Amino acid sequence: MIGRVTISLDAMGGDNAPDVVVQGVQIARNRLPHVDFLLFGDQAKLESLLAQAPELKGCCQLRHTDQAVKGDDKPSQVLRQGRKTSMWLAVDAVARGEAAGVVSAGNTGALMAVSKYVLRMLPGIDRPAIAGFFPTERGESVMLDLGANVDCDANNLVEFAVMGEVFARIVLGIENPTVGLLNVGSEEMKGNDSVRTAASILRQGHLPLTFHGFVEGNDIAGGAVDVVVSDGFTGNIALKSAEGLARLYTRFLRDAFSSSWLAKLGYLLARSALVKVKLRTDPRRYNGAMFLGLNGIAVKSHGGTDAVGFANAIGVAADLITHGFNDSIKQELERLKAIEEQPAQAAAI
Amino acid sequence: MIGRVTISLDAMGGDNAPDVVVQGVQIARNRLPHVDFLLFGDQAKLESLLAQAPELKGCCQLRHTDQAVKGDDKPSQVLRQGRKTSMWLAVDAVARGEAAGVVSAGNTGALMAVSKYVLRMLPGIDRPAIAGFFPTERGESVMLDLGANVDCDANNLVEFAVMGEVFARIVLGIENPTVGLLNVGSEEMKGNDSVRTAASILRQGHLPLTFHGFVEGNDIAGGAVDVVVSDGFTGNIALKSAEGLARLYTRFLRDAFSSSWLAKLGYLLARSALVKVKLRTDPRRYNGAMFLGLNGIAVKSHGGTDAVGFANAIGVAADLITHGFNDSIKQELERLKAIEEQPAQAAAI
């Protein structure tokens, strides 16, 4: 039996808050009956939304604040002046032990800055990373970093590999996930210093993970590995480039299916099959980017998502909490540290 | 009237050489009656292929060599020992003035190394860049660097911007192309040092180009700008990530259309419209990556392309030759140099 857990929500974060947040809770509630919610935001607005959802009465608590982080607020500004915002209070609930994790659809940079400041890093991690899912030919894979760090050295990449591997095991349920380093070619001599050094550390095999080697951009959707590791600059651009192409394809197809009566009829006949494609590639399905490396569970929902997407982000947080994600990371990091401190002994293992 | 030009071909480069090369010439010949070809490779094989294409007799000359660069040859090894390979000889024909440009579907790293060594750089360019086309919501755009340089400083990026702008004007025929710098966000403070410094140089407006600012990964296919500038590490991964997603989508659609009789019938009805989508996104249409910044025209065809793709790569080379691409680049670079040397005067213009 799963014990009850509480997730705190930045009810004012995202383009369509707080409506989407409350609707997301309604959807998540059915899938996650063991979860309670602590909503931070405008009490009057939230009460009127909750009045229309009486089934949520037992599982939702409200905490009023009239301050919220805006989409274009600078992280440094939020750190200085944002202690009463719904985002800060929601993150702080995790630090105070009132909640086991937090979900926000607000400003990514601000959420990262506040989470780092309030939750602190896990011991042994230099930098947090943003991890997300994407569809592949084999199912789903994990990719990190998606933009928390524009410059990464080899050690950062190795830490991302360790965290990503645990993430794939816990959230995707893959027993022995394979890990690849994103590069411009698969040969050993390719790439910049960071990826080459990180690969040589991972190749030594001292770490408890299956290192596949380098992967290229097309291997991401190809599903060559379960975990794709990259610096945040490249990872963010790679993922968004693929998203852009998905949108372009969708538009080309829409144009094609409306270009003639015959094509329209064809679409109608094939529709149920095409809807399945849409579901397989639905960005809402992959919503919920996890901030890895923090001393607490923090999940970022896409700012423009709808209730289905927000519910999925809640689901990611619930999975991470239920499966003791951060404890697993800590164990791996202690193992990593032990290896680093005793290289000779480790080599003999 | 366009004068006659000669293009040299590495007839042994690529997965399906020399067959695809000769078939590519057959297709290109119809579109480019003013072009003659100088083919370097195995004379016996090429003669037997040309015997089946009598229409090429007047426009093709053969030069025999029994050496060829292999796909896994290291560039340094080719530089030391590859002077008699079909690739080297084809590039050398440009340096010697026998040909106005070269096309090869061989090993990219080796082609870049040989081209740099044999053709030399244009004065004022530190690093060459690989530029290619991709489909967008607005038509086609140019992207560079696609992998020639894994590490780039701000000056390299500025030079890429200048070369890419000329490339878009000449090959895509866009009168006043807009140029964007690939980054993880559009705000000024985003990104690494190289992109921020390059953006501040481009924003000063001393250069004769329209700088749009930063663009994100999804803006590539979105068609936000005509020229996307990036370091070679990120550019290569972004483009290949998008290619990977295109393949994934195509596979999902193929699965969907064969999943039921109704879907199959729907496909048949919509087929002519769907074929147009296929043509719009056909990678062969975007084949032909140009090595910019060299003192000579060198075009790299995808190694696995077919005759249609190879013919398109020949077409790119022919366009660049006919429109005096390198002369235009030189002019822009001289203007850039004059501006750099006289910043005060330039600012007053």
Could you tell me if A277 and B224 are in contact, meaning their C-beta atoms sit under 8 angstroms apart? no
Cα B13 to chain centroid distance, Å, stands at 16
pLDDT band with cut points at 50, 70 and 90 for residue A349: very low
What is d(CA B188, CA B213) in angstroms, rounded to the nearest whole number?
9
DSSP assignment letter at B100: S
Task: Show the tokens assigned to B277.
Answer: 């989508």
Q: Alpha helices, DSSP H only, in A52-153?
A: 75-81, 86-95, 108-119
- CB-based contact A267 B266, cutoff 8 Å: yes
- CB-based contact A221 B245, cutoff 8 Å: yes
- CB-based contact A238 B237, cutoff 8 Å: yes
DSSP assignment letter at B227: E
- Return the residue matching tokens 């994100």: B216
- CB-based contact B266 A266, cutoff 8 Å: yes
- Contacts for B33 with CB less than 8 Å, ≥ 6 apart: none
Phi, psi of A39 (to 5 degrees): -100, 125
pLDDT, residue B335, reads 75
Please state the domain extents for chain B: 1-125+293-325, 127-283
- CB-based contact A216 B222, cutoff 8 Å: no
How far is B281 from chain A, CA to nearest CA, in Å? 8
Could you tell me if B184 and A150 are in contact, meaning their C-beta atoms sit under 8 angstroms apart? yes
Burial A222-233, CB ≥16 within 10 A → b, else e? bbbbbbbbbbbb
Q: What is the pLDDT of residues A119-132, one digit of tens each?
A: 999 888 888 999 99
Superfamily of domain A131-285: Isopropylmalate Dehydrogenase (3.40.718.10)
- CB-based contact A269 B271, cutoff 8 Å: no
ipTM of the complex: 0.86
CATH code of B127-283, in short, is 3.40.718.10
The mean per-residue pLDDT over the stretch A36-60 comes to: 94
Q: Alpha helices, DSSP H only, in chain B?
A: 19-31, 43-51, 75-81, 86-95, 108-119, 154-171, 193-203, 217-222, 232-257, 261-280, 307-322, 325-341, 343-348
- CB-based contact B217 A233, cutoff 8 Å: no
- CB-based contact B150 A191, cutoff 8 Å: yes
Could you tell me if A179 and A164 are in contact, meaning their C-beta atoms sit under 8 angstroms apart? yes
Least confident among A23-27, A211-215, B185-189: B185-189
User: Hey, do B1-125+293-325 and B127-283 end up sharing a CATH topology, with the first three levels equal?
Assistant: yes
Superfamily of domain A1-125+293-326: Isopropylmalate Dehydrogenase (3.40.718.10)
What is d(CA A62, CA A290) in angstroms, rounded to the nearest whole number?
24
Residue B34 forms contact with A (CB below 8 Å): no
Strands lying side by side in the sheet with B210-215: B60-64, B35-41, B5-10, B101-104, B297-300, B289-292, B129-136, B139-144, B227-229, B178-182, B210-215
Tell me which residue in B220, B240, B266 faces A244 most closely, judged by beta carbons: B220
Q: What is the pLDDT of residues A266-294, one digit of tens each?
A: 888 888 888 888 877 777 777 778 999 99
How far is A272 from chain B, CA to nearest CA, in Å? 8
How far is B109 from chain A, CA to nearest CA, in Å? 10
Q: Beta strand A60-64 with A35-41: parallel, antiparallel or unpaired? A: parallel
What is d(CA B72, CA B123) in angstroms, rounded to the nearest whole number?
31
User: What is the count of residue pairs from A and B with beta carbons less than 8 Å apart?
Assistant: 208
Tell me which residue in B217, B221, B281 faces A238 most closely, judged by beta carbons: B217
Interface mutation target, options A143, A249, A255, chain B, most CBs of B under 10 Å: A249
- Environment class of residue A21 by beta-carbon count within 10 Å: exposed (0-12), middle (13-18) or buried (19+)? buried
- CB-based contact B248 A222, cutoff 8 Å: yes
pLDDT, residue B328, reads 85
pLDDT band with cut points at 50, 70 and 90 for residue A342: low
Report residues of chain B scoring pLDDT below 70. 1-2, 339-349
Residue A270 forms contact with B (CB below 8 Å): yes
Give me the residues paired with residue A291 across strands: A130
pLDDT, residue A274, reads 86
Phi, psi of B275 (to 5 degrees): -60, -35
Is the backbone peptide bond immediately before A18 cis, with ω within 30 degrees of 0? yes
- CB-based contact B242 A239, cutoff 8 Å: no
Residue of A nearest to B219 (CA): A244
A5 three-class SS: strand
Fold of B1-125+293-325: Isopropylmalate Dehydrogenase (3.40.718)
Could you tell me if A207 and A347 are in contact, meaning their C-beta atoms sit under 8 angstroms apart? no
Q: Which of residues 183-202 of B touch A (CB under 8 A)?
A: 183-184, 189-192
- Checking if the pLDDT of A330 tops 90, the result is no
- Contacts for A118 with CB less than 8 Å, ≥ 6 apart: A88, A91, A92, A94, A95
Could you tell me if A164 and A145 are in contact, meaning their C-beta atoms sit under 8 angstroms apart? no
Alpha carbon distances (Å) from A56 to A19, A171, A197, A268, B179 = 14, 26, 51, 39, 51
Alpha carbon distances (Å) from A101 to A115, A326, B42, B97, B149 = 11, 11, 67, 68, 42
Interface mutation target, options A149, A182, A248, chain B, most CBs of B under 10 Å: A248
Residue B266 forms contact with A (CB below 8 Å): yes
pLDDT, residue B62, reads 96
Task: Show the tokens assigned to B27.
Answer: 């297709």
- CB-based contact A217 B236, cutoff 8 Å: yes
Q: What is the pLDDT of residues A228-281, one digit of tens each?
A: 999 999 999 999 999 999 889 889 989 989 989 998 998 888 888 888 888 777
Tell me which residue in B217, B248, B269 faces A136 most closely, judged by beta carbons: B248
Cα A45 to chain centroid distance, Å, stands at 28
